[in-house]
Structure 1
Amino acid sequence: MSSTPTEERPRLRDRSLGSLIGSLPDLVSRLIRGEIQHAKQEIAAKLKAAGVGAGLLVGAAILAIIFLQIMLAAAIIALSLVLPAWAAALIVGGVVLIIVIVLALVGVKALKTGVPPVPTDTVENVKSDIRAIKGEGEYDNAGR
């Protein structure tokens, strides 16, 4: 059975310096295990949100492809009223190719900013813990 940080602090204050130093490896070990668990939870939450977003984007992309095919056919038909059909198809195809290239470049840039999913909160907590162990920082009321 583990105790909460507020229950443990008075107990630690009543102990001798020797027993506190003796319990230091256990306390550090529990701190590290807690930070690892927090990192796992943070990464899982970020990946779950990314998975839901990716699924919705795939559904939207499928419908967008169908819509785009319909609109491209309409554009080719409309343009073929003033040009030969083959010329209308080439013009519409060229415009679509330019759009594809621009979207691909923007997508690659956006993808690079989101990868890899790093547990930023946990990294900051570990840095704070290290500063506290070194005596460079103060603990607030939440124990961080």
Structure 2
Amino acid sequence: MTGTTHTRPAHDGQHSVGALVGQATEQFSRLARQEAALAKEELTEKGRRAGRGGGLLGAAGAVAYAGLLGLAAAGAAALALVLPVWAAALVVAAVLFAVAGLLAVVGRGQLRRATPPAPRAAIGSLRADVEEIRERAHR
């Protein structure tokens, strides 16, 4: 059969349905592991942000407590002195409360960036993968 085109038997050159299903299962398994790793990485980052936000809110509480102590000191100063030492203590307390408010706003922003805890990037990537698989399956 020199010079003629030789076609292979179906069982030699083409994969059986079982082999194709096995290959698809293996690829899907590998893809699922990769997506799980991506989700884990994303959740880890969100956890870090939640920790930072919680820490900042804790700091805001501590500064607010210091502000409350400042108000107490202002009351004591007002009783001990007749003039503006207590007013100065009120100004200090107001500044401390302003700092506490700023820390609370920044901390709340960190917590918002950490929520929802769902791994959005991984979910989006998985949806794109599923869509790609669907398109290839229909070709």
**Structure 1 length-normalised TM:** 0.51
CA contact under 8 A between 2:46 and 2:115: conserved in structure 1?
A: no
Is there any run of 5+ residues in structure 2 with no aligned partner, and where?
1-12, 83-100
Match of 1:42 in 2: 42
Q: What's the CA shift for 1:56?
A: 2.9
Alignment-mate amino acid for residue 24 of structure 2: L
Alignment-mate amino acid for residue 44 of structure 1: T
Paired residues, number:
100
CA RMSD of aligned residues (A): 3.8
Q: What's the CA shift for 1:22?
A: 3.8
Counterparts of residues 25-64 of structure 1 (less than 5 Å): 25-64=25-64
Match of 1:74 in 2: 74
Relative to structure 1, is the Cα distance of residues 17 and 71 closer, same or farther in structure 2, using a 3 angstrom cutoff? farther
Partner Cα separation in structure 2 for residue 76 and residue 128 of structure 1? 66
Of 64-73 and 36-45, deviating more is 64-73
Q: Give 1 or 2 for the bigger CA radius of gyration.
A: 2
SS of equivalent to 1:52: helix
Partner Cα separation in structure 1 for residue 39 and residue 130 of structure 2? 16
SS of equivalent to 2:117: coil
**Structure 2 length-normalised TM:** 0.53
| Aligned-pair identity (%) | 30
Deviations, residues 80-107 of structure 1 (Å, cap 9, x unaligned): x8xxxxxxxxxxxxxxxxxxxxx9xxx9
Q: What's the CA shift for 1:125?
A: 0.8
Alignment-mate amino acid for residue 35 of structure 2: E
